[in-house]
Copies of this chain bind each other. A is one copy, B any other.
Amino acid sequence: MRGAVLYGRGDIRFEERPEPTIAAPTDALIRLAATCVCGSDLWPYRGIQPVARPTAMGHEYCGIVEEVGSQVRGIKPGQFVVGSFAASDNTCRVCRGGYPSSCVQREFLSGAQASRLRVPLADGTLVATPDLPPRELLPDLLATSDVLGTGWFAADAAQVRPGNVVVVVGDGAVGLLGVLAARQMGAERIIAMSRHAPRQKLAREFGATEIVTERGDEGVARIKELTGGFGADSVLECVGTQESLMQAIRSARPGGYVSYVGVPHAVALAGEPLFYSHVHLHGGPAPVRRYLPELIALVLTGKIHPGRVFDLRLPLTQVAAGYRAMDERRAIKTLLWPEEESGR
């Protein structure tokens, strides 16, 4: 089997990798129908988070189950499944508390930019669709695996409610799907912070009511101006830098809710401004598994089309071009068709 392997900064290769096999009785093997490149893949690709050794990349996936381990009960070969980037048993106290991405048995998946993938804790991690979905829904279903689930968590963690004023910091795929999620949750106003025309356009299509192009101090001042001087009820921080997080905190009203869903890089929150901001802060690795049944249902009934964030769709063989386009911000998000799928 061939798959994407990152060797170092900017050096992603499509090469032969060992075929995955059932390693534990709770595993499933799936043949990927679609996979993609995550914003978080760009951190090691850019060398900001160096890889110690060649690393099989990819953690967003959907596809057909080929084989299951002897202890797998709910998932069966032949089913179409979507799973979270974090494997979870979905039974422990942490999972039952709503945080499968901190499951006591959690494993972060990697290696999904390939033809096949081993998924641990298959019963807890995977959700099967009732039928085999049509090919045109694959981008939407793939999106539920991480990028939509993460945008959804951003909106949920920021307590988006009907009538709320919402700000989304970050116009990457997660931020854009944070807009979509906020719309689904009934927000009255959704202010997307973006300075890129194609992303502004998609933000509006997903439900943004206003666009703010300013950043930093000016961005905060603009949000205050748009909210009668108070700040927003909910702010979704979908970048993961010090600047974006402080911008988010300062854009919220006292008592407002700020979520952050990107792994923070070199962030140190000063205690005093956080204290006086009076915000609620919540975030972390998105508990995507919690949302998957609902999100898959929304996709299958045609209510949402999160797959529109995939503005570049390539055969997996061209994975390097997919990373490059995202790195250079020519693409919002790259979908990759595995080899066997490319000819379909």
Contacts and interface: CB of A to CB of B under 8 A. Distances in A.
Contacts of A260: 275
A204 interface: no
A276 B97 CA distance: 16
A269 interface: yes
Interface stretch (A9-17, A208-216, A282-290): A282-290
A102 interface: yes
A325 interface: no
A230 B240 CA distance: 27
Contacts of A276: 102, 284-285
A279 B270 CA distance: 17
Given A264-B271, A270-B268, A271-B245, A278 B230 contact: no
A255 B255 CA distance: 19
A274 interface: yes
Nearest to A278: B284
Given A255-B99, A260-B275, A280-B282, A230 B269 contact: no
Interface residues of A, number: 40
A39 to B, nearest CB: 15
Contacts of A278: 99, 101-102, 284-285
Contacts of A98: 255
Interface in A115-159: none
A255 B285 contact: no
Interface string A78-97: 00000000000000011001
B269 A271 contact: yes
A99 B276 CA distance: 11
A265 interface: yes
Contacts of A283: 275
Given A245-B271, A271-B268, A278-B102, A253 B284 contact: no
A281 interface: yes
Interface of A: 93-94, 97-99, 101-102, 104, 228-230, 240, 242, 245, 253-255, 260, 263-272, 274-285
7 contacts: A97-B253, A99-B255, A104-B229, A264-B274, A266-B271, A269-B274, A276-B285
Given A97-B254, A99-B254, A260-B275, 16 more contacts: A94-B230, A94-B255, A97-B253, A97-B255, A102-B278, A104-B229, A254-B284, A263-B272, A267-B270, A267-B271, A267-B272, A268-B271, A269-B271, A275-B284, A276-B284, A279-B282
